[in-house]
Amino acid sequence: MSLSGKTHTAFDLAIIGGGILGASTAYLLSSFSGLRILLVEKEMSAGLHSSTRNTGPIIASCSNIKS
């Protein structure tokens, strides 16, 4: 999503990096806290570089979840 055409210019929090961790964090914080989040990614598409290497923390944090 781009800011072009939007009227909001003030944000509560900026997250740098649109990989899996940055995007997940932005989604959860905006969904459950009502904060206005700015997600900044230098590439034209999100998740192009480090996302494949950063899924370890997510997998590790879910390993204790019982069905």
Chunked into runs of 10 residues, the chain (67 residues) has average pLDDT values of 63 88 87 89 73 58 55
- pTM score, two decimals? 0.59
Burial class of residue 22 (count of CB atoms within 10 Å of its CB; 0-12, 13-18, 19+): buried
Q: Which two tokens stand for residue 39?
A: 């997600």
For the four alpha carbons of 35, 47, 59 and 56, in that order, the dihedral sign comes to negative
Is 38 inside any structural domain? yes
**Which residues are registered as beta bridge partners of 64?**
none
Is 24 inside any structural domain? yes
Is 55 inside any structural domain? yes
Is 42 inside any structural domain? yes
Q: Range of 43's domain?
A: 13-60
Is 5 inside any structural domain? no
Is 26 inside any structural domain? yes
pLDDT at 63: 56
How many distinct structural domains can be found in the chain?
1
